[in-house]
Amino acid sequence: MNFKEGRAIQINPTATTIKSAVTLAGSKSFTNRALILAALSDGTTTLEQASLSDDSLLLQRSLNALGFESQIDGSSITIKGSNGEFPVRHTKLYCGAAGSTLRFLTALCALIEGGKIDLFGTERLSERPIADLGDALAKLGAGIEYLNNPGCAPVQVKGEKLTARDPLEISGAISSQFISALLMIAPKIETGLVLNVADKMVSSSYLEMTLSIMRSFGVEVEHDGLRVFRVPCQNYRSPGHYQIEGDASGASYFWGVAAITGGTIRVNNISLNSIQGDVQFIRILEQMGCTIVTGQDQNLPWIEVTGPEKLAAVEVDMTLMPDTAQTLAVLASVAKGKTVISGLSTLRHKETDRIAALCCELSRVGIKTESKEDQLVVYGGEPHGATIKTYEDHRMAMSFAVLGAKISGIEIANSDVISKSYPAFWRDFFCLIG
């Protein structure tokens, strides 16, 4: 392994057939939602096996800046809730490149009556849209002022006593995080909230996750097929301890290594019963010829993938698991035939335009692609080595690392970007491939 912080990693393919296991760190998506609800709850909550990714740590530090007491002990984060009271009303919060951190905090800060909070981040974060969320919060009574580009961070939030006398409508086409952000603050709105989702819904599995975590903190949300949500005013109740599931998005890279090398990799701390949409990625791997086995060891669930001699091309809709699309595109580069991946509209608005980035980097390794607004076509072939640009996107680095497990000469530029979601990725990856 050749690795220096901020520089390139060179990956050498494994010389032997892999048969190994890895235990996942906690899900960033679960952790970030649980941090918000713990802050709004009536007691102290310890999040067990929490994600210590950049995104989650930025959120935890922002909550500290708002006056919430929290501390990290090993892989646990403990936070003392204030039942909707905010110790600090005027501050600035740095959100880095974290879209969920920005969006969840923007909604949270709207609850701070008399507050004035500035939220800002990286250049790329300042290009990612939050206008739909800002418009919705303004209709509830919050003051929303964009300090540079309309509809994007940096944004100043002036909190007020929010009210919702009429149903609130929001688009579901750009990001489900807008809806999750509103749902999480809804119980602290005195009038409650009826939220209608207009047009199509993307990444709906993440809304199921939000509702599940809210339920664990004592709040039930009525909904009609994730289109209309009814949330009465009520208090969040701390569960005391909350166990964070393993990160299914992170699991996809290790299952991908098994698939592309014909090896066997068991991923611990993840179950087929998970409500994380990305766990269904293994069903796509089955279609490509992989063998899937599940089980449990000492109360720890696991999913094991064994790759075939040759992967088959597939045609799939990834609306419910967009964060695994890059992993699939890399696997498709060595599959037999033409892989068609649709349901990718949200990838245009991530850390980079992921569809454009995939086309560019797959071309760099000699693979033909075609793309539309929400679709990517990958023609399987014989990729060759190259230095892969990561575009400040953690998932570009981790997905193309999968290709390096099979193809000589793969080098990942700016390899430290993985800390955004999976700080221990390179350690776990090289432990598996040797």
| CATH number of the domain residue 373 falls in | 3.65.10.10
363: its two tokens: 């071309």
The answer to whether residue 190 is domain-embedded is yes
Please report the pLDDT score of residue 2 as a whole number.
Answer: 38
* Cβ–Cβ < 8 Å for 301, 269: yes
Q: How many other β-carbons are positioned within 10 Å of the β-carbon of residue 423?
A: 17
Strands 70-73 and 222-224: unpaired
Question: Is 55 considered catalytic here?
Answer: no
Distance between CA atoms of residues 49 and 170, nearest Å: 33
Share of the chain above pLDDT 70, in %: 99
The DSSP code for 336 is B
Mark whether 182 and 285 lie in a shared domain.
no
Residues 247, 323, 374, 416: which is the catalytic one? 323
Distance between CA atoms of residues 96 and 126, nearest Å: 10
For residue 117, give the H/E element and its range. Answer: strand 116-120
Mark whether 238 and 256 lie in a shared domain.
no
Mark whether 231 and 252 lie in a shared domain.
no
The answer to whether residue 17 is domain-embedded is yes
Mark whether 293 and 417 lie in a shared domain.
yes
DSSP, residue by residue, 198-227: ES--S-HHHHHHHHHHHHHTT---EEETTT
Mark whether 226 and 145 lie in a shared domain.
yes
Beta bridge partners of 45: 79
Please report the pLDDT score of residue 416 as a whole number.
Answer: 94
Distance between CA atoms of residues 98 and 405, nearest Å: 28
Please report the pLDDT score of residue 266 as a whole number.
Answer: 97
The answer to whether residue 186 is domain-embedded is yes
Please report the pLDDT score of residue 4 as a whole number.
Answer: 40
Mark whether 49 and 145 lie in a shared domain.
yes
* Cβ–Cβ < 8 Å for 130, 103: yes
Mark whether 101 and 151 lie in a shared domain.
yes
DSSP, residue by residue, 340-358: EEE--GGGGGSSS-HHHHH
Cis peptide bond upstream of 308, omega within 30: no
Please report the pLDDT score of residue 179 as a whole number.
Answer: 97
Distance between CA atoms of residues 61 and 334, nearest Å: 42
The answer to whether residue 3 is domain-embedded is no
Mark whether 217 and 318 lie in a shared domain.
no
Segments of the chain with pLDDT less than 50: 1-5
Q: How many other β-carbons are positioned within 10 Å of the β-carbon of residue 418?
A: 27
Closest CA to 323 of 402, 273, 395, 422: 395
Mark whether 59 and 132 lie in a shared domain.
yes
The domain boundary, picked from 192, 222, 243, lies at: 243
Q: What is each CA distance from 217 to 36, 44, 60, in whole angstroms?
A: 11, 12, 18
Please report the pLDDT score of residue 1 as a whole number.
Answer: 35
The answer to whether residue 42 is domain-embedded is yes
The domain boundary, picked from 186, 216, 243, lies at: 243
Mark whether 185 and 314 lie in a shared domain.
no
Indicate the burial class of 284 (C-beta count within 10 angstroms; 0-12, 13-18, 19 or more): buried
Mark whether 172 and 313 lie in a shared domain.
no
Residues of the domain holding 188: 28-243
pLDDT tens-digit map of 253-277: 999 999 999 999 999 999 999 999 9
Distance between CA atoms of residues 398 and 251, nearest Å: 11
Mark whether 252 and 360 lie in a shared domain.
yes
Please report the pLDDT score of residue 41 as a whole number.
Answer: 97
pLDDT tens-digit map of 274-305: 999 999 999 999 999 999 999 998 888 999 99
The domain boundary, picked from 190, 209, 243, lies at: 243
Residue with tokens 């199509």: 200
The answer to whether residue 2 is domain-embedded is no
The answer to whether residue 256 is domain-embedded is yes
The DSSP code for 112 is S
Distance between CA atoms of residues 183 and 33, nearest Å: 11
Strands 386-388 and 410-412: parallel
Number of separate domains in the chain: 2
The terminus-to-terminus CA distance of the chain in angstroms comes to 9
Please report the pLDDT score of residue 205 as a whole number.
Answer: 87
